[in-house]
Chain A
Amino acid sequence: MVAYFSEIYYGLISLLEGMVITFKEFFKPTVTVSYPYETLPMCDRFRGHVELIENEEGQPNCVVCGLCERACPSGCISLAGEKAEGEKKKVLTKYVLDFTRCSLCGSCVEACNFNALTFSKEYNLASRRKEDFIFDLLGRLEERNR
Protein backbone atom coordinates (compact mmCIF):
# COMPACT_ATOMS: atom_id res chain seq x y z
CA MET A 1 0.00 0.00 0.00
CA VAL A 2 2.79 2.42 0.96
CA ALA A 3 4.68 1.47 -2.17
CA TYR A 4 1.62 2.21 -4.26
CA PHE A 5 1.21 5.73 -2.92
CA SER A 6 4.92 6.52 -2.91
CA GLU A 7 5.04 5.50 -6.56
CA ILE A 8 2.26 7.92 -7.35
CA TYR A 9 3.99 10.64 -5.31
CA TYR A 10 7.41 10.25 -6.95
CA GLY A 11 5.81 9.82 -10.36
CA LEU A 12 4.02 13.13 -9.97
CA ILE A 13 7.22 14.82 -8.85
CA SER A 14 9.07 13.50 -11.90
CA LEU A 15 6.34 14.89 -14.15
CA LEU A 16 6.49 18.27 -12.41
CA GLU A 17 10.27 18.37 -12.78
CA GLY A 18 9.90 17.88 -16.51
CA MET A 19 7.30 20.60 -16.70
CA VAL A 20 9.58 23.04 -14.87
CA ILE A 21 12.28 22.43 -17.49
CA THR A 22 9.83 22.99 -20.32
CA PHE A 23 8.58 26.15 -18.63
CA LYS A 24 12.12 27.51 -18.29
CA GLU A 25 12.87 26.75 -21.93
CA PHE A 26 9.84 28.75 -22.91
CA PHE A 27 11.59 32.00 -21.95
CA LYS A 28 14.86 31.27 -23.68
CA PRO A 29 15.71 33.14 -26.87
CA THR A 30 14.71 31.64 -30.22
CA VAL A 31 17.48 29.70 -31.92
CA THR A 32 15.84 29.16 -35.30
CA VAL A 33 15.61 31.60 -38.20
CA SER A 34 12.48 32.03 -40.25
CA TYR A 35 13.74 30.74 -43.56
CA PRO A 36 13.26 31.85 -46.37
CA TYR A 37 12.78 35.39 -45.00
CA GLU A 38 16.02 35.07 -43.08
CA THR A 39 19.02 33.02 -44.14
CA LEU A 40 22.29 32.16 -42.48
CA PRO A 41 25.59 32.82 -44.23
CA MET A 42 27.33 29.72 -45.50
CA CYS A 43 30.65 28.86 -43.90
CA ASP A 44 33.88 29.40 -45.83
CA ARG A 45 34.47 25.75 -46.51
CA PHE A 46 30.92 24.99 -47.59
CA ARG A 47 30.92 22.43 -50.38
CA GLY A 48 28.35 23.45 -52.96
CA HIS A 49 28.55 22.53 -56.62
CA VAL A 50 31.75 23.50 -58.41
CA GLU A 51 32.49 26.73 -60.27
CA LEU A 52 35.36 27.67 -62.56
CA ILE A 53 37.97 30.15 -61.33
CA GLU A 54 39.04 32.86 -63.73
CA ASN A 55 42.43 34.55 -64.13
CA GLU A 56 42.99 38.33 -64.32
CA GLU A 57 41.93 38.42 -67.94
CA GLY A 58 38.61 36.84 -67.17
CA GLN A 59 39.56 33.55 -68.81
CA PRO A 60 39.24 30.25 -66.93
CA ASN A 61 42.36 28.92 -65.23
CA CYS A 62 41.54 25.48 -66.62
CA VAL A 63 44.11 23.89 -68.91
CA VAL A 64 41.86 20.98 -69.96
CA CYS A 65 43.98 18.28 -68.34
CA GLY A 66 40.89 16.21 -67.54
CA LEU A 67 41.98 15.21 -64.03
CA CYS A 68 38.67 16.30 -62.53
CA GLU A 69 36.76 14.27 -65.09
CA ARG A 70 38.72 11.16 -64.14
CA ALA A 71 38.52 11.78 -60.41
CA CYS A 72 34.74 12.11 -60.37
CA PRO A 73 33.10 9.00 -58.87
CA SER A 74 29.84 9.50 -60.75
CA GLY A 75 31.13 10.76 -64.09
CA CYS A 76 29.23 14.02 -63.96
CA ILE A 77 31.90 16.27 -65.46
CA SER A 78 32.45 16.49 -69.19
CA LEU A 79 34.85 18.98 -70.66
CA ALA A 80 36.46 19.74 -73.99
CA GLY A 81 39.15 22.05 -75.23
CA GLU A 82 41.01 22.89 -78.38
CA LYS A 83 44.46 24.04 -79.22
CA ALA A 84 44.57 27.08 -81.49
CA GLU A 85 47.37 27.11 -84.05
CA GLY A 86 50.60 28.52 -82.71
CA GLU A 87 49.35 28.40 -79.12
CA LYS A 88 51.01 26.26 -76.48
CA LYS A 89 48.09 25.72 -74.15
CA LYS A 90 44.69 24.22 -74.75
CA VAL A 91 41.72 26.52 -74.38
CA LEU A 92 38.57 25.37 -72.61
CA THR A 93 35.57 25.27 -74.91
CA LYS A 94 33.07 23.27 -72.89
CA TYR A 95 32.66 22.45 -69.22
CA VAL A 96 29.41 20.78 -68.28
CA LEU A 97 28.51 19.59 -64.78
CA ASP A 98 25.65 17.13 -64.55
CA PHE A 99 24.41 18.10 -61.10
CA THR A 100 21.73 15.40 -61.07
CA ARG A 101 24.46 12.84 -60.44
CA CYS A 102 26.88 14.93 -58.38
CA SER A 103 27.26 13.89 -54.74
CA LEU A 104 29.28 16.95 -53.69
CA CYS A 105 32.30 14.93 -52.60
CA GLY A 106 34.80 17.52 -53.79
CA SER A 107 37.13 15.04 -55.51
CA CYS A 108 37.31 17.27 -58.60
CA VAL A 109 38.50 20.31 -56.65
CA GLU A 110 41.05 18.17 -54.88
CA ALA A 111 42.31 16.63 -58.12
CA CYS A 112 42.84 20.00 -59.79
CA ASN A 113 46.46 21.15 -59.82
CA PHE A 114 45.84 24.45 -61.60
CA ASN A 115 43.55 26.25 -59.15
CA ALA A 116 40.76 26.13 -61.70
CA LEU A 117 37.85 24.87 -59.59
CA THR A 118 36.17 26.08 -56.45
CA PHE A 119 32.96 25.41 -54.51
CA SER A 120 30.06 27.77 -54.92
CA LYS A 121 28.00 28.86 -51.93
CA GLU A 122 24.74 28.14 -53.67
CA TYR A 123 22.29 25.84 -51.94
CA ASN A 124 18.86 27.05 -52.99
CA LEU A 125 18.68 24.63 -55.87
CA ALA A 126 15.23 23.40 -56.73
CA SER A 127 13.52 22.94 -60.03
CA ARG A 128 10.93 20.85 -61.79
CA ARG A 129 13.02 20.24 -64.87
CA LYS A 130 16.06 18.01 -65.12
CA GLU A 131 17.72 20.32 -67.66
CA ASP A 132 18.07 23.02 -65.01
CA PHE A 133 20.66 20.88 -63.28
CA ILE A 134 22.94 20.42 -66.25
CA PHE A 135 25.22 23.33 -65.52
CA ASP A 136 27.29 24.91 -68.26
CA LEU A 137 30.03 26.27 -66.03
CA LEU A 138 31.84 28.08 -68.85
CA GLY A 139 28.63 29.89 -69.71
CA ARG A 140 28.10 30.81 -66.07
CA LEU A 141 31.61 32.23 -65.91
CA GLU A 142 31.02 34.36 -68.98
CA GLU A 143 27.72 35.54 -67.55
CA ARG A 144 29.43 36.60 -64.33
CA ASN A 145 31.99 38.59 -66.27
CA ARG A 146 29.41 40.40 -68.31
Chain B
Amino acid sequence: MSSPIQLKPDETFILNVGPQHPATHGVLRVKMEMNGEYIVNAETVIGYIHRMHEKMGELKTYPQFLMNLSRMDYLGALGYSHGHVLVVEKASGIEVPERAEYIRAIMVELNRIASHLFWFGAFVMDLGGFSPLMYALQDREHILDMLEAVTGSRLTYCYFRYGGLYNDVDDQFVASARKFIPRMRKSLKKYHKLVTGNVIFRKRLEGIAPLSKETCRKYGASSAVARGSGINFDVRKNEPYSVYPEFDFDIPVYHECDSLARYNVRMDEIEQSLRIIEQGLDKLPGGPIMPEKKPKIIKPPEGDYYQAVETARGSFGVRLVSDGGKTPYRLKLRSPTYSNMHLFDESCRGMLIMDALAFMGSLDLVIPEIDR
Protein backbone atom coordinates (compact mmCIF):
# COMPACT_ATOMS: atom_id res chain seq x y z
CA MET B 1 0.00 0.00 0.00
CA SER B 2 1.42 3.40 -0.90
CA SER B 3 0.29 6.93 -0.51
CA PRO B 4 -2.12 8.10 -3.21
CA ILE B 5 -0.66 11.60 -3.01
CA GLN B 6 3.00 11.66 -3.90
CA LEU B 7 4.90 14.16 -1.81
CA LYS B 8 8.50 15.12 -2.31
CA PRO B 9 10.90 13.48 0.14
CA ASP B 10 11.56 16.77 1.91
CA GLU B 11 7.86 17.21 2.54
CA THR B 12 7.73 14.39 5.08
CA PHE B 13 7.59 15.20 8.76
CA ILE B 14 8.61 13.42 11.95
CA LEU B 15 5.93 12.29 14.37
CA ASN B 16 6.83 11.11 17.83
CA VAL B 17 4.56 8.43 19.24
CA GLY B 18 5.47 8.15 22.87
CA PRO B 19 7.36 7.85 25.18
CA GLN B 20 4.08 8.66 26.92
CA HIS B 21 1.31 7.52 24.65
CA PRO B 22 -1.66 5.29 25.49
CA ALA B 23 -1.24 3.19 22.34
CA THR B 24 2.28 2.10 23.21
CA HIS B 25 1.18 0.69 26.60
CA GLY B 26 4.31 1.83 28.33
CA VAL B 27 7.28 4.04 27.79
CA LEU B 28 8.06 3.11 24.21
CA ARG B 29 8.89 5.84 21.73
CA VAL B 30 8.37 5.40 18.02
CA LYS B 31 9.91 7.99 15.74
CA MET B 32 7.77 7.97 12.62
CA GLU B 33 8.61 9.71 9.40
CA MET B 34 5.23 10.52 7.96
CA ASN B 35 3.99 11.34 4.53
CA GLY B 36 0.57 12.67 5.39
CA GLU B 37 -1.20 9.78 7.09
CA TYR B 38 1.24 7.22 5.68
CA ILE B 39 4.37 6.00 7.41
CA VAL B 40 7.52 6.32 5.35
CA ASN B 41 9.90 5.09 8.00
CA ALA B 42 9.67 4.19 11.65
CA GLU B 43 12.24 3.71 14.32
CA THR B 44 11.50 2.32 17.75
CA VAL B 45 13.46 3.87 20.58
CA ILE B 46 13.70 1.80 23.71
CA GLY B 47 15.53 2.00 27.01
CA TYR B 48 13.31 4.40 28.96
CA ILE B 49 12.62 1.86 31.66
CA HIS B 50 15.88 -0.06 31.69
CA ARG B 51 16.52 -1.40 35.19
CA MET B 52 19.61 -3.57 34.70
CA HIS B 53 17.95 -6.86 35.58
CA GLU B 54 20.77 -8.83 33.99
CA LYS B 55 23.40 -6.97 35.97
CA MET B 56 21.35 -7.37 39.14
CA GLY B 57 21.32 -11.08 38.41
CA GLU B 58 25.10 -11.09 38.50
CA LEU B 59 25.30 -9.12 41.72
CA LYS B 60 22.63 -10.85 43.79
CA THR B 61 22.68 -14.41 45.06
CA TYR B 62 20.30 -16.85 43.37
CA PRO B 63 17.43 -16.69 45.88
CA GLN B 64 17.74 -12.91 46.10
CA PHE B 65 17.27 -12.53 42.36
CA LEU B 66 14.06 -14.58 42.26
CA MET B 67 11.73 -11.66 42.86
CA ASN B 68 13.25 -9.64 39.99
CA LEU B 69 11.82 -11.98 37.37
CA SER B 70 8.23 -11.06 38.11
CA ARG B 71 9.14 -7.38 37.66
CA MET B 72 10.23 -8.06 34.10
CA ASP B 73 6.79 -8.77 32.76
CA TYR B 74 4.14 -7.78 35.22
CA LEU B 75 1.26 -9.29 33.24
CA GLY B 76 2.57 -12.82 32.92
CA ALA B 77 5.02 -12.85 35.79
CA LEU B 78 4.91 -16.54 36.66
CA GLY B 79 6.15 -17.72 33.28
CA TYR B 80 9.34 -15.74 33.70
CA SER B 81 9.99 -17.06 37.20
CA HIS B 82 9.41 -20.52 35.78
CA GLY B 83 12.21 -20.12 33.25
CA HIS B 84 14.64 -18.93 35.88
CA VAL B 85 13.93 -21.63 38.46
CA LEU B 86 14.11 -24.31 35.76
CA VAL B 87 17.58 -23.26 34.61
CA VAL B 88 18.94 -23.07 38.15
CA GLU B 89 17.41 -26.45 39.00
CA LYS B 90 18.95 -27.88 35.85
CA ALA B 91 22.33 -26.42 36.76
CA SER B 92 22.39 -27.54 40.39
CA GLY B 93 20.63 -30.86 39.80
CA ILE B 94 17.70 -30.20 42.12
CA GLU B 95 14.81 -32.63 41.72
CA VAL B 96 11.36 -31.10 41.76
CA PRO B 97 8.49 -33.10 43.33
CA GLU B 98 5.74 -34.04 40.91
CA ARG B 99 3.06 -32.13 42.77
CA ALA B 100 5.10 -28.94 42.56
CA GLU B 101 5.56 -29.41 38.81
CA TYR B 102 1.83 -29.79 38.28
CA ILE B 103 0.98 -26.79 40.41
CA ARG B 104 3.57 -24.75 38.51
CA ALA B 105 2.00 -25.66 35.19
CA ILE B 106 -1.51 -24.83 36.42
CA MET B 107 -0.37 -21.49 37.82
CA VAL B 108 1.55 -20.53 34.69
CA GLU B 109 -1.45 -21.34 32.50
CA LEU B 110 -3.77 -19.33 34.74
CA ASN B 111 -1.35 -16.47 34.50
CA ARG B 112 -1.21 -16.85 30.73
CA ILE B 113 -4.99 -16.54 30.53
CA ALA B 114 -4.89 -13.46 32.76
CA SER B 115 -2.26 -11.91 30.51
CA HIS B 116 -4.15 -12.71 27.33
CA LEU B 117 -7.36 -11.33 28.81
CA PHE B 118 -5.69 -8.06 29.61
CA TRP B 119 -4.17 -7.96 26.17
CA PHE B 120 -7.56 -8.66 24.63
CA GLY B 121 -9.17 -5.78 26.51
CA ALA B 122 -6.38 -3.34 25.79
CA PHE B 123 -6.18 -4.34 22.15
CA VAL B 124 -9.86 -3.75 21.54
CA MET B 125 -9.57 -0.47 23.40
CA ASP B 126 -6.76 0.56 21.03
CA LEU B 127 -9.23 0.02 18.21
CA GLY B 128 -11.84 2.13 19.92
CA GLY B 129 -14.03 -0.35 21.79
CA PHE B 130 -14.12 0.23 25.50
CA SER B 131 -16.57 -2.23 27.04
CA PRO B 132 -14.70 -5.49 26.18
CA LEU B 133 -11.93 -4.28 28.49
CA MET B 134 -14.35 -4.24 31.39
CA TYR B 135 -15.60 -7.77 30.61
CA ALA B 136 -12.04 -9.03 30.25
CA LEU B 137 -10.94 -7.44 33.52
CA GLN B 138 -13.88 -8.99 35.31
CA ASP B 139 -12.75 -12.46 34.26
CA ARG B 140 -9.13 -11.62 34.95
CA GLU B 141 -10.10 -10.56 38.46
CA HIS B 142 -11.23 -14.13 39.20
CA ILE B 143 -7.79 -15.40 38.24
CA LEU B 144 -6.03 -12.74 40.28
CA ASP B 145 -8.14 -13.57 43.32
CA MET B 146 -7.26 -17.24 42.96
CA LEU B 147 -3.58 -16.51 42.57
CA GLU B 148 -3.63 -14.04 45.44
CA ALA B 149 -5.18 -16.56 47.80
CA VAL B 150 -2.32 -18.95 47.07
CA THR B 151 0.71 -16.77 46.45
CA GLY B 152 -0.10 -13.74 48.58
CA SER B 153 0.26 -11.12 45.86
CA ARG B 154 -1.78 -10.09 42.88
CA LEU B 155 0.70 -9.08 40.22
CA THR B 156 4.37 -9.50 41.08
CA TYR B 157 4.25 -13.04 42.39
CA CYS B 158 7.32 -14.49 43.99
CA TYR B 159 5.89 -17.98 44.13
CA PHE B 160 8.36 -20.44 42.68
CA ARG B 161 11.36 -21.62 44.66
CA TYR B 162 14.35 -23.63 43.56
CA GLY B 163 13.06 -27.17 43.88
CA GLY B 164 9.44 -26.35 44.52
CA LEU B 165 7.00 -23.72 45.62
CA TYR B 166 6.52 -21.09 48.27
CA ASN B 167 3.35 -22.69 49.63
CA ASP B 168 0.87 -25.37 48.72
CA VAL B 169 -2.52 -24.97 47.08
CA ASP B 170 -5.57 -25.89 49.11
CA ASP B 171 -8.90 -27.48 48.25
CA GLN B 172 -10.47 -24.08 47.96
CA PHE B 173 -8.12 -23.17 45.13
CA VAL B 174 -8.86 -26.41 43.29
CA ALA B 175 -12.59 -25.81 43.70
CA SER B 176 -12.43 -22.22 42.47
CA ALA B 177 -10.21 -23.18 39.53
CA ARG B 178 -12.70 -25.87 38.53
CA LYS B 179 -15.49 -23.35 38.77
CA PHE B 180 -13.52 -20.88 36.69
CA ILE B 181 -13.05 -23.15 33.66
CA PRO B 182 -16.72 -23.33 32.51
CA ARG B 183 -17.12 -19.67 33.38
CA MET B 184 -14.22 -18.71 31.14
CA ARG B 185 -15.46 -20.91 28.31
CA LYS B 186 -18.79 -19.13 28.48
CA SER B 187 -17.03 -15.77 28.48
CA LEU B 188 -14.94 -16.76 25.48
CA LYS B 189 -18.13 -17.40 23.52
CA LYS B 190 -19.34 -13.99 24.60
CA TYR B 191 -16.09 -12.36 23.43
CA HIS B 192 -16.30 -14.06 20.07
CA LYS B 193 -19.84 -12.82 19.62
CA LEU B 194 -19.11 -9.36 20.89
CA VAL B 195 -15.72 -8.70 19.29
CA THR B 196 -14.53 -11.35 16.82
CA GLY B 197 -17.64 -11.19 14.70
CA ASN B 198 -17.94 -7.43 14.84
CA VAL B 199 -17.80 -5.90 11.40
CA ILE B 200 -15.78 -2.82 12.42
CA PHE B 201 -13.25 -4.98 14.24
CA ARG B 202 -12.80 -7.29 11.30
CA LYS B 203 -12.50 -4.48 8.77
CA ARG B 204 -9.71 -2.95 10.80
CA LEU B 205 -7.70 -6.15 11.13
CA GLU B 206 -8.32 -8.38 8.15
CA GLY B 207 -5.42 -8.27 5.73
CA ILE B 208 -3.72 -5.52 7.74
CA ALA B 209 -0.01 -5.73 8.54
CA PRO B 210 0.91 -8.96 6.78
CA LEU B 211 3.99 -10.58 8.32
CA SER B 212 5.70 -13.18 6.21
CA LYS B 213 7.24 -16.32 7.66
CA GLU B 214 10.65 -15.05 6.57
CA THR B 215 10.29 -11.79 8.48
CA CYS B 216 9.28 -13.67 11.61
CA ARG B 217 12.25 -16.00 11.27
CA LYS B 218 14.62 -13.12 10.53
CA TYR B 219 13.73 -11.30 13.72
CA GLY B 220 13.30 -14.38 15.89
CA ALA B 221 9.65 -13.74 16.59
CA SER B 222 7.74 -16.21 18.71
CA SER B 223 4.34 -16.56 20.37
CA ALA B 224 1.20 -15.51 18.51
CA VAL B 225 3.22 -13.30 16.17
CA ALA B 226 4.98 -16.33 14.67
CA ARG B 227 2.02 -18.66 15.00
CA GLY B 228 -0.24 -16.16 13.25
CA SER B 229 2.17 -16.32 10.32
CA GLY B 230 1.98 -20.06 9.98
CA ILE B 231 5.06 -21.03 11.98
CA ASN B 232 4.15 -23.96 14.18
CA PHE B 233 6.49 -23.26 17.05
CA ASP B 234 5.73 -23.46 20.73
CA VAL B 235 8.44 -24.23 23.29
CA ARG B 236 5.97 -26.35 25.26
CA LYS B 237 5.71 -28.74 22.29
CA ASN B 238 9.01 -28.31 20.47
CA GLU B 239 11.35 -28.43 23.47
CA PRO B 240 9.11 -29.84 26.21
CA TYR B 241 9.93 -28.97 29.78
CA SER B 242 8.35 -29.51 33.19
CA VAL B 243 5.22 -31.72 32.93
CA TYR B 244 3.93 -30.34 29.63
CA PRO B 245 4.49 -33.60 27.70
CA GLU B 246 1.85 -35.17 29.98
CA PHE B 247 -0.85 -32.80 28.81
CA ASP B 248 -2.93 -33.10 25.69
CA PHE B 249 -3.24 -29.71 24.04
CA ASP B 250 -2.96 -28.16 20.59
CA ILE B 251 -0.94 -25.28 19.26
CA PRO B 252 -3.21 -22.91 17.35
CA VAL B 253 -1.61 -21.87 14.06
CA TYR B 254 -3.11 -19.50 11.52
CA HIS B 255 -1.78 -18.92 8.03
CA GLU B 256 -3.41 -15.58 7.23
CA CYS B 257 -0.38 -13.65 8.56
CA ASP B 258 -2.49 -10.57 9.38
CA SER B 259 -3.42 -8.85 12.63
CA LEU B 260 -6.64 -10.85 12.87
CA ALA B 261 -4.65 -14.11 12.73
CA ARG B 262 -2.56 -12.99 15.71
CA TYR B 263 -5.74 -12.11 17.57
CA ASN B 264 -7.26 -15.51 16.77
CA VAL B 265 -4.16 -17.36 17.93
CA ARG B 266 -4.28 -15.70 21.34
CA MET B 267 -8.00 -16.31 21.77
CA ASP B 268 -7.51 -19.98 20.89
CA GLU B 269 -4.60 -20.16 23.30
CA ILE B 270 -6.92 -19.23 26.16
CA GLU B 271 -9.02 -22.28 25.31
CA GLN B 272 -5.92 -24.49 25.16
CA SER B 273 -4.70 -23.16 28.52
CA LEU B 274 -8.07 -24.04 30.00
CA ARG B 275 -7.62 -27.56 28.71
CA ILE B 276 -4.20 -27.81 30.38
CA ILE B 277 -5.58 -26.51 33.68
CA GLU B 278 -8.45 -28.98 33.51
CA GLN B 279 -6.09 -31.90 32.97
CA GLY B 280 -3.66 -30.59 35.59
CA LEU B 281 -6.39 -30.44 38.23
CA ASP B 282 -7.51 -33.98 37.34
CA LYS B 283 -4.00 -35.37 37.52
CA LEU B 284 -2.79 -33.29 40.49
CA PRO B 285 -0.84 -35.76 42.61
CA GLY B 286 -0.36 -35.56 46.37
CA GLY B 287 2.96 -35.33 48.13
CA PRO B 288 5.44 -32.66 49.12
CA ILE B 289 5.95 -29.38 47.28
CA MET B 290 9.61 -29.05 48.20
CA PRO B 291 12.29 -31.72 47.68
CA GLU B 292 13.63 -33.53 50.74
CA LYS B 293 17.22 -33.00 49.71
CA LYS B 294 18.09 -29.50 48.69
CA PRO B 295 21.41 -27.70 48.98
CA LYS B 296 21.32 -25.01 51.64
CA ILE B 297 23.20 -22.52 49.53
CA ILE B 298 22.56 -22.60 45.78
CA LYS B 299 25.93 -22.90 44.06
CA PRO B 300 25.58 -24.42 40.59
CA PRO B 301 28.74 -26.11 39.32
CA GLU B 302 30.82 -24.40 36.68
CA GLY B 303 29.14 -24.47 33.29
CA ASP B 304 26.84 -22.95 30.73
CA TYR B 305 23.12 -23.68 31.00
CA TYR B 306 20.12 -22.63 28.95
CA GLN B 307 16.42 -23.12 29.35
CA ALA B 308 13.60 -21.71 27.28
CA VAL B 309 9.97 -21.55 28.34
CA GLU B 310 6.83 -20.45 26.56
CA THR B 311 5.47 -17.40 28.34
CA ALA B 312 2.36 -15.48 27.40
CA ARG B 313 4.48 -13.30 25.13
CA GLY B 314 6.61 -15.98 23.52
CA SER B 315 9.78 -17.91 23.97
CA PHE B 316 11.65 -16.65 27.02
CA GLY B 317 15.16 -17.98 27.43
CA VAL B 318 17.51 -17.83 30.38
CA ARG B 319 21.18 -18.46 29.84
CA LEU B 320 23.15 -19.00 33.00
CA VAL B 321 26.93 -19.08 33.05
CA SER B 322 28.16 -20.19 36.43
CA ASP B 323 31.68 -20.12 37.79
CA GLY B 324 30.69 -22.18 40.80
CA GLY B 325 30.09 -19.18 43.02
CA LYS B 326 27.13 -17.93 44.99
CA THR B 327 26.21 -15.50 42.21
CA PRO B 328 26.05 -16.22 38.47
CA TYR B 329 28.96 -15.17 36.30
CA ARG B 330 26.52 -14.09 33.61
CA LEU B 331 22.76 -14.21 33.37
CA LYS B 332 21.29 -13.49 29.97
CA LEU B 333 17.55 -13.02 29.73
CA ARG B 334 16.18 -13.44 26.23
CA SER B 335 12.97 -11.52 26.21
CA PRO B 336 10.42 -12.48 23.54
CA THR B 337 8.86 -9.05 23.06
CA TYR B 338 12.25 -7.56 22.22
CA SER B 339 12.33 -9.68 19.07
CA ASN B 340 8.64 -9.24 18.36
CA MET B 341 8.88 -5.46 18.60
CA HIS B 342 11.74 -5.07 16.13
CA LEU B 343 9.50 -6.42 13.38
CA PHE B 344 7.60 -3.20 13.64
CA ASP B 345 10.22 -0.91 12.08
CA GLU B 346 10.39 -2.88 8.87
CA SER B 347 6.79 -3.99 8.58
CA CYS B 348 4.96 -0.73 9.19
CA ARG B 349 6.47 1.10 6.20
CA GLY B 350 3.76 2.33 3.87
CA MET B 351 1.02 1.68 6.41
CA LEU B 352 -1.60 4.12 7.61
CA ILE B 353 -0.87 5.29 11.11
CA MET B 354 -4.18 3.91 12.39
CA ASP B 355 -3.33 0.48 11.01
CA ALA B 356 0.16 0.70 12.44
CA LEU B 357 -1.22 1.28 15.93
CA ALA B 358 -3.55 -1.70 15.54
CA PHE B 359 -0.55 -3.71 14.35
CA MET B 360 1.43 -2.63 17.39
CA GLY B 361 -1.40 -3.75 19.62
CA SER B 362 -1.48 -7.14 17.94
CA LEU B 363 2.20 -7.66 18.82
CA ASP B 364 1.33 -7.60 22.55
CA LEU B 365 4.20 -5.44 23.73
CA VAL B 366 5.07 -5.10 27.40
CA ILE B 367 7.72 -2.42 27.56
CA PRO B 368 9.38 -3.22 30.94
CA GLU B 369 9.99 -6.65 29.54
CA ILE B 370 11.75 -5.27 26.44
CA ASP B 371 13.96 -2.94 28.43
CA ARG B 372 14.40 -5.26 31.45
Number of A-B contacts (CB under 8 A): 68
Chain B interface residue count: which class?
A: 20 to 34
Which stretch in A11-19, A51-59, A90-98, A126-134 binds the other chain? A11-19
Which stretch in A80-88, A103-111, A135-143 binds the other chain? A103-111
The answer on a CB contact under 8 Å between B67 and A103 is yes
Which stretch in B91-99, B149-157, B214-222, B269-277 binds the other chain? B149-157
- 1/0 per position for A15-58, CB-CB distance to B under 8 A? 10110011001000001000000000001111100000000000
The answer on a CB contact under 8 Å between B167 and A45 is yes
**Nearest CB in chain A: distance from B27 CB, A:** 20
The answer on a CB contact under 8 Å between A18 and B198 is yes
The answer on a CB contact under 8 Å between A45 and B193 is no
User: Is residue B166 contacting chain A, with contact meaning CB distance below 8 A?
Assistant: yes
The answer on a CB contact under 8 Å between B138 and A15 is no
The answer on a CB contact under 8 Å between A105 and B67 is yes
Q: Complex: how many Å from CA A21 to CA B192? A: 11
Q: Complex: how many Å from CA A17 to CA B199? A: 11
**Residues of B contacting A72 in the complex (Cβ-Cβ under 8 angstroms):** 64
**Residues of B contacting A99 in the complex (Cβ-Cβ under 8 angstroms):** none
User: Is residue B45 contacting chain A, with contact meaning CB distance below 8 A?
Assistant: no
The answer on a CB contact under 8 Å between B193 and A73 is no
The answer on a CB contact under 8 Å between A103 and B156 is yes
- 1/0 per position for B46-69, CB-CB distance to A under 8 A? 000000000000001001111110
The answer on a CB contact under 8 Å between A119 and B194 is no
Interface residues of B in 187-222 (CB under 8 A from A): 190, 193-195, 197-200
The answer on a CB contact under 8 Å between B148 and A107 is no
**Interface of B (DSSP majority class):** helix
Q: Complex: how many Å from CA A31 to CA B144? A: 14
Q: A45-B150, A45-B151 known; A14 and B198 CB under 8 Å?
A: yes
Q: Complex: how many Å from CA A7 to CA B200? A: 12
Most A CB contacts (10 A, CB to CB) among B68, B150, B167, B199 go to B199
**Residues of A contacting B199 in the complex (Cβ-Cβ under 8 angstroms):** 7, 10-12, 14-15
Residues of A within 8 A of B (CB): 7, 10-12, 14-15, 17-18, 21-22, 25, 31, 43-47, 71-73, 103-107, 110, 119
Q: Can you pick out 30 interface pairs between chain A and chain B where the beta carbons lie within 8 Å of each other?
A: A11-B199, A12-B199, A14-B198, A17-B194, A18-B197, A21-B190, A22-B131, A22-B194, A25-B131, A31-B138, A31-B141, A43-B148, A43-B152, A44-B149, A45-B148, A45-B167, A46-B152, A46-B153, A47-B152, A73-B60, A73-B64, A73-B67, A73-B68, A104-B156, A105-B66, A105-B67, A105-B158, A106-B158, A106-B166, A107-B66
Residues of B within 8 A of A (CB): 60, 63-68, 71, 131, 135, 138, 141, 148-153, 156, 158, 166-167, 190, 193-195, 197-200
Ranked 4 nearest A-B pairs via Cβ: A11-B199, A105-B67, A47-B152, A73-B64
